[in-house]
Each structure stands twice: as structure tokens, then as C-alpha cells.
Structure 1
């Protein structure tokens, strides 16, 4: 079970609310973090009187958010006396949904309010799909997931490989994009299965959120994640918040220019382009690092990346750099990258870590965001 990050729940406590709503949320949040528990223990743990806890339990039960739960066998009293009331989150109240459409594959996942995965479906995406064909494929996949989950969708998120305008929630088609998937209207797909709040973002931003909340950068307020795969990109966390920029194009690493050319054009000049010529062929690129010792092409490839990454690190001064994507699992590449990055670090102590979340990070981050949206919606419409 994936516990909801504490910050996602604590942030909600900043909203104006009645004293009854405060009690209800303390009661509910305790169950989110700790699982089924007795009313008496919840009252003692969160600092409520027993009558106040009892009233909170009644209101939350009436709203359908919690239910009476079976007591664990080891807690059933042997002697006579009143058996304590146990409660848990109502698993049938609703779920969240996250859709991933990137790198030629679609995945749809539903989760409960604790972040536990309920259902997941996937299918391959042909490279020649039109935007409307993509939308229809994702719509059918999302409907299948919601139908299999069996209750209403409270909030939904989606991700794809292109940058997303945070205001319009539309994918931005950049010149020579290496990711043709996701240019359809994914928000409209979400709205066909979810009446609650929906949000679209690109895969690197969602991966960065996951790394910051539950991954190797957990507890770090200033972090830069670099994705190195068929395309290259960056996700930025400053003061604990993922930064997307005014138009949503912050972190588009491949478009940084030097010597009059983009970084991606420099990387592709080593004969490692995939068919079509706009993205890296991962396996062919890894072959650059398989020679012993790696040749001049490998060193120049790494130096080009390290120059761009090092300049970003110098400018932003993060606590750590997180390296993700298929190249992060190539030991020879990572050794050369660390060596090439060292001269760019002003104090020589910037931590470089490999993502522990691997390829699941973007969908995991989208799922975390959907859970947060669900909490916001629950309490925005809750009447104590």
C-alpha cells in the first residue's frame, strides 16, 4: 500500500474551516495514515475528546467517507465490556485515475484514497496514430479501468511526453518534437470518465513530483531531475514545488542552444538517431559506452550533456541532481557522466543520485497528484 505523502494532507489544513470540519479531517486523516482504528484511540492520538470524536465519526459516516470496520482478532476483548468502535476509509466511496501516454505505450491506473493500486490496463500506441485515434484509444482504456474498478472517479490526471500549458491544459507541439504521442486532447478524455477535477502534465514533471514526494529526493526542497532517454528533459523543484514556467516549457533540456544548435542536435550527430532522426536510439547510444575504453564519441556525447546539466545546476543551486531514464541504468554511462559533471559544481558537494522509481515514476507522480486533487475536492464540497 502506498501511503499518501504527509504534505499532501497537511497542506489541506491551511484552508478556512469550521471547528467541526477540523475535527472531521483530523479523524479522517488518521485513518488514511494508520488504517483501521478505534474511535477511542483516534481521539487520544489526534487530541480530540471522545464526544467530539464520536460526532466526527457520525458525520463522516453520514457523508460516506468512512465505515465501521471489523476489529482485528488480537484486539477483541476477552473479558466482558463494551467493544470499541472501529472505523476505516470507505473503499467504495470512489477512486482516482491516472493515464500515461508516452514512448509508444498507454497505461491507465486506478487507485484508492490511500494510493493503493486497484486496476491497471495498458496497450501499445502505433507511431502513426492521429490525435483523434489516440483520444479514442485512451477513452476506451479509461472506461475499461473505471468500469472494472466499480465506483466513481473522484479525480483524474494524465501525462504525455510533450510540455503542457498549465493554464489551457493543452499539449504544446514544439519544433522537431521527439514525442508525437499526446498531442490529442487528453483532458477531454479524462472528462468522459471523471466528473471531478482533472489535470494534464508532461511525464518528466510528474516523475519529478514522484521523486520529490516518495523517491530518492524525498525531503529535499530544491532538486533537478534529468530524464535521459529517447528525448532529454528536466524537472525542477524549487522551495518544495515543481516549477513548470509560465507557458509550461520549463525544463525542455533538448532545446538549450550553444554554438548555434540545440543540445539534441549535438547528441544526434554521433550516429545514434532512431528512425525519423529526432530522438535517440537508446540501444545504439548505449553501444558507445560498451567499448573498453569508451571512444571519443562517447566522451563527446557525455560532455555535451554535462555542459547543459552543469550550467543548470550552477544557475539553480539545487540540493541534488536525480538522473532518470534508460541511460541511468548504464553503469559506464553514469561513471562518465559523474566525472564530466564534477568540474561544473561550484562547491564540489552536489549529490548525483540515480532514480529508484525507474520507469514507473511518471505514472506514480500522476497518481499522487490525482490523490491530492481528490482530497481537495472532498474537503471543498464537504459539509460538516
Structure 2
């Protein structure tokens, strides 16, 4: 049997990428330290460094001090060779970063938005931020990642309009909007999907291949990994838990907040469990939507959860029903709860109890470990991986 051996060009490309990744991860490395970090021989590392220096991807800096033997010089990534942009667009506005290959944030720009957020206002803010970031980049922009707070059709990068969207009314096309602003097509994804990538890389889901994340804040969403890979669905609608079926209490006034009743309840009480409705209908029925909006009144809900009010506990139970249904569908090893009210003890305990009582389901429930700008963190992680790949796209070459 004939065995095809890897070509010399391919081996060189792989060694170059390993060395570059080691330098980027450490911030600065000598050739000897790079050999130790990669497990490659010193001659192989020296040859890779020579090619990377010639391509301008790394530069030599100051000489290392201390230790025995001849001191080597530190290698660092060359920001002028190229950077990535990571951008988060949500209900509060747009924030973006210029990111170097070693993870340093070289520049940050943001634009705030007022409600309601429209495709026009979000598009203008997104364009302005990306234009400013591109101008501040010390080298060519090689990768752009964008997080948006709505479902995204991964085939086109367009934001998908849904009737219960709490933020965006109408469709947005970031790829088209940024075509003349950035030199490469952006990778666009939903904010919860990026947040789960952050959890899978740096948070509570590290090393877990099958994960369900439920994000409960002003909006509601989910993201899933199965077999170590993210699930998006044909049009990016996987994880739209606002449309999942659950028990919906009936009340005298739907969709508006009642006045405070005694003992932490509301004066318009839930009366009976209707047949099923969507989770969004449950939120509306319990009076936790902002007036004239599909966004959730998080502060009021948190107050009621803190007091253990009946309305809030009914909503926690409805979320637990949704989590249990998804657990049977996806069989996750881990369920991550994120968002301001998603991390509340009442919700965590309701979901944990529902999954423990579900026959055959064996999963762990954890609060999200990354709570500050998690979607931006995930977008940055993906951008860094893609940025590294741009310098080893062709076997035996470093593309510049």
C-alpha cells in the first residue's frame, strides 16, 4: 500500500504556524523558548523564525537577560503586519476593538444608541465604529468579527427579523454595510453564540463538547454546542428560546405590569395554567415586558425574584420547562445560565431541579463564568484564531 507523505512545504507551513502561535501566546519569546514551547527542534524553529522575519510577521526586539549561555533576542509579533477587528452591536450601542495577534487591544471605539434601535441607527453606528477602528489599525485589517443581538443567517451574514425581537425592527445586512469600510467580509454571528464560544474557551464550559447556554436578560436566547461544534441551524434560528412552548398563566391584563400587591405579589394575579404558549407570551402574561416593547423589564423582575414573588417564580418555572425540553432534545453535558436574571438563584434552582427530576437526563447546571462583554470576548477569540490562520493559508508560504 502506498502512503502519501506530507510535503516539505506543508511541514514548513505547520512549523511556521506553531512558532507564530507560541510567540503570539507568550507575547515575546526567544528562539530557544519557542523550541521548548512547541516541542520542535532548535534548527527547525530557527528556520521558521527566519521565514517569519522575512515575511514581516514577527520582529526581533531586545536581548534576553539572565540564564546561562548565549543570550537570545526576544521575538514579538509585528502589529504592522495586520490586525483583527472584533465588534459587538447590541441594544446599548456598538463597541469595537483593534486586536493584535498576541491578544493586545490596540484601540477601542464605541457609539451609544437610544431605544428603539432601528436597522438604520444600528447600521450607521456599526459603520462609524468599523471605519474608526480600521483607521486606527497599525496594519492591514485581515479579519473582522461582528456580534449582533439577534439571529443571524450564517450563509449571508444578514440579521433575521423575528416578530418577538426585543431590539431590532427590520433586517440588517452587516456584510453589505461594511463592504466599502473594511477590506475583508465580516464573520457575523448572534451574541449568545459568541458568548458560548467565550465560555467554551475561557469559562465554565472549557473541555465540554456538549453544552446548552440559556441567556436571559432584556432579551432571551440560547446557543448550543454538540460534539465540540456549534449548532446554528439552516438559517441561524437554532436557540430562539423565546418561541419555545411552555406553560402560560392567564391574567386579567396581558403584557402590562400590575401594581404591587401584598406580600411581594402583583394586584393582577395569574389565575390558571393555560394550555401552552411561547416563553415570550409567558413573560408578557406575567407583566414583565416594557410598555410598547418586547424587551423585558429586568430590574422589576430581579426585584420580584429577590423577594420570591409568585409571578417571578412562575416565570422561573416556565424557563425550567424550556430547559428540560431542550435537554431531552440536545442531551447536553452542561447547561450554562447567563444574563442578569438568568443567573439569579431562583432561576438556577428552578432549572437545576427540573433537570434533576427529568428521567434519563444527566447534566450539570452552572452560572456563566464570563459576564463582562462575553459576546465581544467570543468575537475576539474567533478573530484571533482566524488572524493566525491568515499567515499560514498556503503550505510553505506566509501570506501578507
Q: TM-score range by the shorter chain?
A: 0.7 to 0.9
**Secondary structure of 1:119's aligned partner:** strand
Indicate if the aligned counterparts of 1:232 and 1:254 stay in contact, CA closer than 8 A.
yes
2 CA distance for matches of 1:357 and 1:96? 22
1 CA distance for matches of 2:77 and 2:71? 20
The structure 1 residue matched to 2:15, chosen from 16, 20, 23, is 23
Structure of larger gyration radius:
2
2 CA distance for matches of 1:16 and 1:246? 39
TM-score by length of 2: 0.83
**Structure with greater helix percent:** 1
Indicate if the aligned counterparts of 1:107 and 1:123 stay in contact, CA closer than 8 A.
yes
Aligned equivalent of 2:279: 263
Indicate if the aligned counterparts of 2:119 and 2:168 stay in contact, CA closer than 8 A.
no
Could you tell me how far 1:337 is from its partner in structure 2?
4.1
Deviating beyond 6 angstroms after TM superposition, the runs of 4 or more aligned structure 1 residues are: none
1:383 aligns with 2:373: no
Could you tell me how far 1:50 is from its partner in structure 2?
3.8
2 CA distance for matches of 1:15 and 1:320? 41
The structure 2 residue matched to 1:342, chosen from 356, 375, 383, is 356
1:253-310 per-position Cα deviation (integer Å, ceiling 9, x unaligned):
011135352111012211111122422111111222232xx23322211111100111
Aligned equivalent of 1:326: 340
Name the stretch that deviates more: 41-50 or 26-35: 41-50
Aligned equivalent of 1:369: 382
Aligned equivalent of 1:124: 112
The structure 1 residue matched to 2:143, chosen from 155, 158, 172, is 155
The structure 2 residue matched to 1:43, chosen from 23, 35, 40, is 35
Indicate if the aligned counterparts of 1:23 and 1:53 stay in contact, CA closer than 8 A.
yes
1 CA distance for matches of 2:371 and 2:170? 21
Aligned equivalent of 2:207: 219
Aligned equivalent of 1:59: 51
1 CA distance for matches of 2:353 and 2:45? 57
**Secondary structure of 1:210's aligned partner:** helix
Number of paired residues? Answer: 364
**Secondary structure of 1:224's aligned partner:** strand
Aligned equivalent of 2:313: 299
**Secondary structure of 1:109's aligned partner:** strand
User: Structure 1 pair 56/284, CA: closer, same or farther in 2 (3 Å)?
Assistant: same
2 CA distance for matches of 1:20 and 1:95? 23
The structure 1 residue matched to 2:156, chosen from 135, 144, 168, is 168
2 CA distance for matches of 1:268 and 1:15? 62
Indicate if the aligned counterparts of 1:101 and 1:182 stay in contact, CA closer than 8 A.
no
TM-score by length of 1: 0.86
**CA RMSD in angstroms, aligned pairs only:** 2.5
Aligned equivalent of 2:272: none
2 CA distance for matches of 1:341 and 1:100? 32
Could you tell me how far 1:122 is from its partner in structure 2?
1.9
Stretches of structure 2 that go unaligned for 5 or more consecutive residues are 1-5, 247-274
1:110-158 per-position Cα deviation (integer Å, ceiling 9, x unaligned):
2111222222222221224542332222211222223234322110011
2 CA distance for matches of 1:133 and 1:232? 22
